[in-house]
């Protein structure tokens, strides 16, 4: 198998009561696993099977003949990233350095928060809300379906999955409540800060 399903960075019930074990069993074990399995089926025996997910996404992103490969590769990457964006006992405010950077680029943490909730709640249908580093600036974006900042040349720092499969068992149609909970209780801010440090290192080296 070329691509494999990464293990969750915590046990399936570790995010309870905010995200249930049932949600994670289906979301990771069925949805994420299916993207990886479909991708393996699509690239099996082709030179594309040797790429990393990031390389594959960049290679096929504008190719109308490889939309299925893009969708499954991007979803495989987005989900692996999303699991790392959460941690038990996470959420609340970021540490000092990241907190100061967010306050500067968004004119305050509350503005960051309301923009992120707005992007996540306002995404029509399935998709993702993101904090990205784009041309040296922190920005909030949303992508639909399998869209990923990698394809836009942006560095992903934080994401919230707003496909219904991410929250429907626990929050039904209340996407806004799920997003508020995600920020309040689950965000792995040290992980986000490491992404920013790495993104700035890459940008400086480029
Ligand atoms: Fe998902």
Q: What is the pLDDT along the chain (206 residues), one digit of tens a residue?
A: 699 999 999 999 999 999 999 999 999 999 999 999 999 999 999 999 999 999 999 999 999 999 999 999 999 999 999 999 999 999 999 999 999 999 999 999 999 999 999 999 999 999 999 999 999 999 999 999 999 999 999 999 999 999 999 999 999 999 999 999 999 999 999 999 999 999 999 988 88
What's the residue count for the chain? 206
Can you give the pLDDT at residue 9?
98
Residue 153 burial by Cβ neighbours in a 10 Å radius (0-12, 13-18, 19+)? exposed
Distance 26 CA to ligand 1 centre (A): 10
Ion ligand 1 residues within 5 Å by Cβ: 161, 163, 166
Can you give the pLDDT at residue 206?
82
Distance 196 CA to ligand 1 centre (A): 23
Distance 163 CA to ligand 1 centre (A): 6
Question: Given CA atoms 194, 196, 198, 200 in this order, what sign does their dihedral have?
Answer: negative
Look up the pTM and report it.
0.97
Distance 113 CA to ligand 1 centre (A): 21
Distance 162 CA to ligand 1 centre (A): 7
């Amino acid at each position: 198998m070329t691509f494999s399903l990464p293990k969750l960075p915590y046990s399936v019930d570790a995010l309870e009561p905010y995200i249930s074990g049932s949600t994670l069993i289906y979301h990771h074990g069925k949805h994420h696993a299916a993207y990886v399995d479909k991708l393996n089926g699509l690239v099996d025996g082709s030179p594309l099977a040797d790429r990393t997910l990031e390389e594959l996404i960049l290679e096929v992103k504008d190719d109308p003949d490889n939309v299925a490969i893009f969708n499954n590769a991007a979803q495989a990457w987005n989900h692996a990233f999303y699991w790392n964006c959460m941690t038990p006992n996470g959420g609340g405010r970021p540490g000092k350095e990241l907190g100061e950077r967010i306050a500067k680029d968004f004119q305050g943490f509350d503005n960051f928060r309301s923009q992120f909730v707005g992007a996540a709640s306002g995404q029509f249908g399935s998709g993702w809300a993101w904090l990205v580093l784009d041309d040296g600036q922190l920005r909030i974006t949303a992508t639909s379906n399998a869209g990923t900042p990698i394809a836009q040349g942006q560095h992903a720092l934080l994401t919230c999955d707003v496909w219904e499969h991410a929250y429907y068992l626990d929050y039904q149609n209340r996407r806004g409540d799920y997003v508020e909970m995600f920020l309040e209780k689950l965000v792995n801010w040290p992980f986000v800060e490491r992404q920013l440090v790495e993104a700035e290192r890459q940008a400086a080296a480029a």
